[in-house]
Structure 1
């Protein structure tokens, strides 16, 4: 009886202490939001403790915001639901000395970072290679993407069987170099505002530069055939997708290596291709819309506010998500994955990726979160470790401000540090 009484007393004291902490934190955050800084922008915040199910703070949490790259949290969740630990590289079928291969959206083949060569190793022994490229129903650009970004590194075209990350990599240290090398003669040394012609593979590189740049390529069957013929001379032909199923699957890179790269440096191309790759589990006809609809109607049917979700990366301003939805998905991830693996996939405040210059801890990191930035919009959603050892899940979204993003982050940091120090 005494043991039971002590247990009840402990629970009551525990909840009393957290109730006091929550009240103090709420008062502090409310005071921040009442400052003139937040008068002319739209802000939402939800902070949740998954251990005791305490909603620590809620402000416009059920309203819709433009999420930018916070969208990648949903892409990560989808990939973890559908894709294996070793990613499918492509599907194939062998008929004597002929091999037919079909893309599944995997972006790692000859990518500047991953430099995967699984396809080359498998195809070399065969006399003839049939390459199927037209099984993707998505347009090369996502809905609502800014057209003027066509020459920027963060906006490559989507495709069923990417090569070289679908970008031309140009450097000029000792001499002008390009990958793939076949497009070297398409590079003009010129001081141009743009890095490529609008709809052609004519590239511009400032001769004063010494760094390496990546410029999206304009993709078509002719160009891709030339790349393959350069790799495997007189072997490769592009074939039409007939709908016939290819039963064998080749695998290449560990899934987490791709997910981490997508999240930490906020790689839009990887995010788009990861969604396409996840759709290959449902059908040989690749469709990011199909996989988005599938996950929303099944694993995420319990979301309190269903999002408007149109791409994998968050490049589109058509996307609309609420802080509540992000916290719900982050909570699902927190419950499903080991803590070390989960936190390893996110940028770390003051230490890595897009958060390297922001949200530094005192003696150790306290923020593991995904940022999202498009003009006049900045959001941050993820996990916060308090000094008392609690793990909080939060989504902090800011839209339509006209101040600098740097100032927005500074104000956000005051609130996040208050949570860290006082809860």
Structure 2
């Protein structure tokens, strides 16, 4: 009986090993063609159940990750934030409410429309707002200056409102949120945008697509936006004799993370790190959150990243494929698969992967893409036809091909893994 078991085990190990070697050779053949000559490619594939590395190509080299950075941001939020988002801290003295900012991005946001702060503020005669407790600059290091009015580049702030953007719709007539900017919007023949140094916006009269244009955030605007919804009630203060210590909570954190990952929302990613820092001290600092997670939960990473923002907009970020797989593995081992996979775009079905990597007949890719000019990366989870879970990171930097051509070659490798492992 024992002999039979040992023989069976030997045969299983032998054929599994042969299959792995065959797959590795096939991937080698695909990525050593002339197509890859003038780009930088890194691939790391890990069988999490078998605790086995299936493939490693330049996986310990550093790459520009683009929005793959949001995987680290997701991990930070999961580790540092409570089940519901800390909307703000507050204290009450008779008829006065003092609110201290935590960086919560959901307040009156076009998608979440959270009104936790507004509901509480309505109950008091006076509202004092402390929002000078952030050390982050409005843009991350290395962000492109010309993106100041692009939808994907809202400013970072201590107390965001409306997602820090002006949202414009033109289905039957022009609708603007917040309406405070109605007299600052000019209808033109051009597409859309904003003056570089002022909150003066323009929008094409024939444009039908829903549009978001970042605001310039400052104390004056924050005060005006608050008093637009609560007239003559809200004031900004630099310090308070009261210490706001009670925490008010807004939406479930998973809802925030899912939105951030599915549509690759840069603003939400940046604010999640600011939020995470609010659990460490009253001073809001995304750097403090990044350093904390690297020094504690991620101190065992084989290659420490250069991690400068939450979204991946900065080209200063440098990460290795191995690091992404390590973090993805930690998340896979620490939470139910169903909850984890909900955060990631699904190949051929949702988010940034809706038009790529579709399954036949069912989805098999749950992953986060990362795109900048001449860079495309994808890291996440691949489910094989045999039911195995592979954790992977496939990074492409500095190519001159189209993104579509790069994705086609990635898809060939993913489908081979799906069908033959």
What TM-score do the two structures reach when normalised by structure 2?
0.98
Match of 2:180 in 1: 182
Cα distance in 2 for residues equivalent to 1:133 and 1:253: 21
- Which shifted more, 359-368 or 218-227? 218-227
Match of 1:102 in 2: 100
**1:166 matched to 2:164:** yes
Cα distance in 2 for residues equivalent to 1:184 and 1:7: 77
Shift of 1:8: 3.7
1:112 is paired with a residue of what secondary structure? coil
Cα 1:244/1:278, change in 2 over 3 Å: farther
Of the three residues 381, 386, 389, the one matched with 2:387 is: 389
Match of 1:314 in 2: 312
Match of 2:211 in 1: 213
2:193 is paired with a residue of what secondary structure? coil
Cα 1:375/1:91, change in 2 over 3 Å: same
Of the three residues 124, 136, 139, the one matched with 2:137 is: 139
Match of 2:360 in 1: 362
- Which shifted more, 129-138 or 6-15? 6-15
1:195 is paired with a residue of what secondary structure? strand
Match of 1:276 in 2: 274
Q: Contact 2:277/2:284 (CA < 8 Å) preserved in 1?
A: yes
Shift of 1:222: 1.0
Unaligned runs of 5+ in 1: none
Cα distance in 2 for residues equivalent to 1:82 and 1:308: 20
Match of 1:303 in 2: 301
Match of 2:369 in 1: 371
Of the three residues 39, 42, 45, the one matched with 1:41 is: 39
Of the three residues 117, 128, 153, the one matched with 1:130 is: 128
**1:325 matched to 2:323:** yes
1:57 is paired with a residue of what secondary structure? strand
Q: Deviations over 1:4-58 (max 9, x none)?
A: 5454444333322221111110011000011111011000000000111111010
Cα distance in 2 for residues equivalent to 1:419 and 1:326: 19
Q: Contact 1:133/1:241 (CA < 8 Å) preserved in 2?
A: no
Cα distance in 1 for residues equivalent to 2:273 and 2:166: 23
Match of 2:88 in 1: 90
Cα distance in 1 for residues equivalent to 2:349 and 2:31: 28
Match of 1:266 in 2: 264
Match of 1:23 in 2: 21
Q: Contact 1:103/1:161 (CA < 8 Å) preserved in 2?
A: yes
**1:294 matched to 2:292:** yes
Q: Contact 1:90/1:106 (CA < 8 Å) preserved in 2?
A: yes
Cα distance in 2 for residues equivalent to 1:199 and 1:146: 15
Cα 1:392/1:244, change in 2 over 3 Å: farther
1:110 is paired with a residue of what secondary structure? coil
Q: Contact 1:135/1:241 (CA < 8 Å) preserved in 2?
A: no
2:291 is paired with a residue of what secondary structure? helix
Cα 1:283/1:6, change in 2 over 3 Å: farther
Match of 2:413 in 1: 415
Q: Deviations over 1:210-229 (max 9, x none)?
A: 22200000011111111111
Shift of 1:319: 0.1
Shift of 1:174: 2.5
- Map 1:39-118; keep pairs closer than 5 Å: 39-118=37-116
What TM-score do the two structures reach when normalised by structure 1?
0.97
Cα distance in 1 for residues equivalent to 2:315 and 2:398: 12
Cα distance in 1 for residues equivalent to 2:15 and 2:179: 64
Cα distance in 1 for residues equivalent to 2:211 and 2:37: 40
Shift of 1:242: 6.0
Cα distance in 2 for residues equivalent to 1:168 and 1:194: 11
**1:203 matched to 2:181:** no
Cα 1:383/1:214, change in 2 over 3 Å: same
Cα distance in 1 for residues equivalent to 2:162 and 2:13: 55
Q: Deviations over 1:130-154 (max 9, x none)?
A: 0111111000000000000000110
How many residue pairs were aligned?
421
Cα distance in 1 for residues equivalent to 2:330 and 2:49: 13
Q: Contact 2:97/2:127 (CA < 8 Å) preserved in 1?
A: yes
